[in-house]
Chains A and B, each alone.
Chain A
Amino acid sequence: MTKRQIVLLASRLVQVLPVVVLATVVIFGLLQLVPGDPAAVIAGEYATAERIAEIRHQLGLDQPLWRQYLGWLFAAMHGDLSTSLITGQPVVEEVLRRLPNTLLIVCGALMLSISVGVPLGLTAATHVDSPVDRVVTTIASLGVAVPNFWFGMILVGFFALGLGLFPTTGAASLFQDPRAAVMHAALPSVALAMGGTAEIARQLRSAMIEVLGSQYVRTLHAKGLPQSSILWRHGLKNVSLTLLTVIGLVFNRTLGATVAIEAVFAIPGTGTLVVTSATNKDFPIVQGTVFVLVMIVIGCNLLIDLLCTVLDPRVDK
């Protein structure tokens, strides 16, 4: 690794800090806009005004906003995301218990998207305007257009309820029962993967078409390189940055899409956690879960940024 790359990596790390700060401000701020008083919720329906004030004091809700924010941020940095208003359990524990279920289907979906989307995109790009290409482009447009929860319901209806090949709902722990965990994650992963597969196939197709039509690929042909070397060595390396960026994008979107998919498959993941907590006005849980998910997204984007920096010889700035 060159000195220049190390400097670039360091600057990327510094650049991400303001993003993190902004994200925490937004996450903290959004819940301030929600109508309803958490203290009143905790105190219950028949609580006196004094009782509510007391709870508000306990929670620090009577402090100025900026102090509340700093307190929350400081605690969050130390792994303390407060406690559930309803169960009194630490939020972190609840989120960490749910997170593996979500990450399992997200990672499964991502792997599916890559392993199906990449060959599809490459095949389409090398057969532009052929029937193969038209089939791929049609599938890709469908994949983007069809809502994945709807696709998920069809999958459940056919493979789980109809053929009985997979469990219809729920999740299992990957550590205690890997087989059951994979079986439970299979259909949700497929449902989630559809949009990402389509996106990867589409973007890779157009990136590869551009590369194959470029002047430098003409040079490669002029040098007498075999087609395989042009495609796999030069083509793939030239689209690899686009591919990485798209994978990052797909990861973000897939993580967001888990809210609906977890509901369809009744998976106890972070998506369902956010939904139920929001319904119960259990704000610390909502806040904590969103915080963890946003940090994962920022971390993932940072990782991809760093990879691009290392991989692209052209990075200049």
Chain B
Amino acid sequence: MTDALLDVRDLSIHFRSGAREVQVTRKVSFTIAPGEVVGLVGESGCGKTVTGLALMGLLPRGRSRVTGNIFLGGEDFAAMSPRQMRRVRGRRISMIFQEPMSALDPVFTIGEQISETLRAHRDVSVGEARARAIEALTQVGIPEPELRYDAYPHQLSGGMRQRAMIAIALVCEPQLLIADEPTTALDVTVQAQIVEVLGGLCARLGMAMLFITHDLGLVAETCSRLVTMYAGEVVEEGHIDDVLVRPRHPYSSGLLRSLPALAQRKATLPAIPGRVPTVAEMPAGCRFRPRCAHARSVCEDPQSLVDSGNGHVRCCRQEELVLPGALRGEVAA
């Protein structure tokens, strides 16, 4: 895996509150190749956002502890000073967030917020920064970019704001974009447009993307690989076509089967019963065991992420189970 752009190894994130420390992700490992679009899915609270923030070095300092390694283009983040980390953020890795409403500074214009990003990393004149910002606005499909340059966030619709966020993120042409549920807060029609913009940019700029989402339908459309997280752990990782057709982990299978595209035919939505355990009630052994229909006594042992031939799975029964997935055609429809 030496050719990976991003190599995350055994990333564990802990939060401190007072004297107590809770672990919210445990030994998360995955890689992203240059230009590759990887989906990261999992139920709410499983640690997707904190993983993204850790990659950016944006977890609240002092209140969090991170172990494990993150390599970007072979460089170890742990060896970087805060100053060097700052030079990475926005220039080599960018991140966009779920809420375009609150993610933009309300008292600066869209244009100022784009060009200041450029000027923080590149030695360009004010005029040049403006030209590049307008170009970025054009790239994300904002109409009349010269006019929009001077617009304040509140003057734009949610979809336009998210486009502006993307423009901020891509203006320095980073190698990797972390998109944390970029469409969740938007209307369905706008969602599709934003996904299209992101996909187009990745292709055009050769930019890799970590696409964090709840929506497996979007993953099927945009991603070439899928990482599934459950309760702070990676439970499955594999090529999107393999996982959609034949998921190896009961949790991935459950997520896929609760897709609306399938549910319409079956009349009921076969959602996964139960809920994600809190840190206090985390089961020993397989963390998914309390909710798993296939649980056996072997599952009470801790599970490790093992090679499954064309991916990685954290389930000791993966060989014997044949789990239903979602056919690609149905998902994309």
Q: Could you give, for residues 234-246 of chain A, a 1 whenever the CB lies within 8 Å of some chain B CB and a 0 otherwise? A: 1001100000000
Give the dominant DSSP class at A's interface.
helix
Q: Could you give, for residues 84-100 of chain B, a 1 whenever the CB lies within 8 Å of some chain A CB and a 0 otherwise? A: 00111111001101010
Known contacts A229-B120, A314-B152, A314-B154: A221-B89 contact under CB 8 Å: yes
Residue A314 contacts which of B87, B106, B168 (CB distance < 8 angstroms)?
Answer: B106
A215 CB contacts on chain B under 8 angstroms: 97, 99, 102-103
Residue B89 contacts which of A216, A224, A313, A316 (CB distance < 8 angstroms)?
Answer: A224
Q: Could you give, for residues 241-263 of chain A, a 1 whenever the CB lies within 8 Å of some chain B CB and a 0 otherwise? A: 00000000000000000000000
A214 CB contacts on chain B under 8 angstroms: 102
Are B88 and A216 within 8 A (Cβ)?
Answer: no
Find the residue from A221, A222, A226, A312 having the highest chain B CB count within 10 A.
Answer: A222
Known contacts A229-B120, A234-B108, A314-B107: A224-B87 contact under CB 8 Å: yes
A229 CB contacts on chain B under 8 angstroms: 116, 120
Known contacts A222-B94, A223-B89, A223-B168: A216-B102 contact under CB 8 Å: yes
Are A234 and B105 within 8 A (Cβ)?
Answer: yes
Q: Return A229 CB to nearest CB of chain B, in Å.
A: 7
Are B88 and A238 within 8 A (Cβ)?
Answer: no
Q: Could you give, for residues 212-233 of chain A, a 1 whenever the CB lies within 8 Å of some chain B CB and a 0 otherwise? A: 0011111111111110010001
Are B56 and A222 within 8 A (Cβ)?
Answer: yes
Are B120 and A225 within 8 A (Cβ)?
Answer: yes
For A, the interface residue count at a CB cutoff of 8 angstroms equals 22
A219 to B108, CA, bound (A): 13
Decide if B78 is an interface residue (CB 8 Å cutoff).
no
Are A216 and B152 within 8 A (Cβ)?
Answer: no
Q: Return B17 CB to nearest CB of chain A, in Å.
A: 13
Q: Which residue of B lies closest to A216 (CB)?
A: B105
Q: Which residue of A lies closest to B117 (CB)?
A: A223
**Which chain B residues numbered 155 to 208 have a C-beta less than 8 Å away from chain A?**
165, 168-169
Are B106 and A238 within 8 A (Cβ)?
Answer: yes
Are B106 and A225 within 8 A (Cβ)?
Answer: no
Q: Return B91 CB to nearest CB of chain A, in Å.
A: 6
Decide if B271 is an interface residue (CB 8 Å cutoff).
no
Are B86 and A312 within 8 A (Cβ)?
Answer: no
A62 to B325, CA, bound (A): 96
Residue A219 contacts which of B91, B104, B121, B152 (CB distance < 8 angstroms)?
Answer: B104
Known contacts A218-B58, A314-B154, A316-B154: A224-B103 contact under CB 8 Å: no
Q: CB within 8 Å of A: which residues of B?
A: 56, 58, 86-91, 94-95, 97, 99, 102-109, 116-117, 120-121, 152, 154, 165, 168-169
Q: CB within 8 Å of B: which residues of A?
A: 214-226, 229, 233-234, 237-238, 312-314, 316
Pick the 5 closest A-B CB pairs, nearest first: A224-B90, A224-B89, A223-B90, A215-B102, A223-B117
A-B contact pairs, 5 of them (CB 8 A): A219-B104, A221-B58, A224-B117, A224-B121, A313-B154
In addition to A222-B58, A223-B116, A224-B88, 11 A-B residue pairs with Cβ atoms within 8 Å of each other are A215-B97, A215-B103, A218-B97, A221-B89, A222-B95, A222-B169, A224-B117, A233-B116, A313-B106, A313-B107, A316-B154
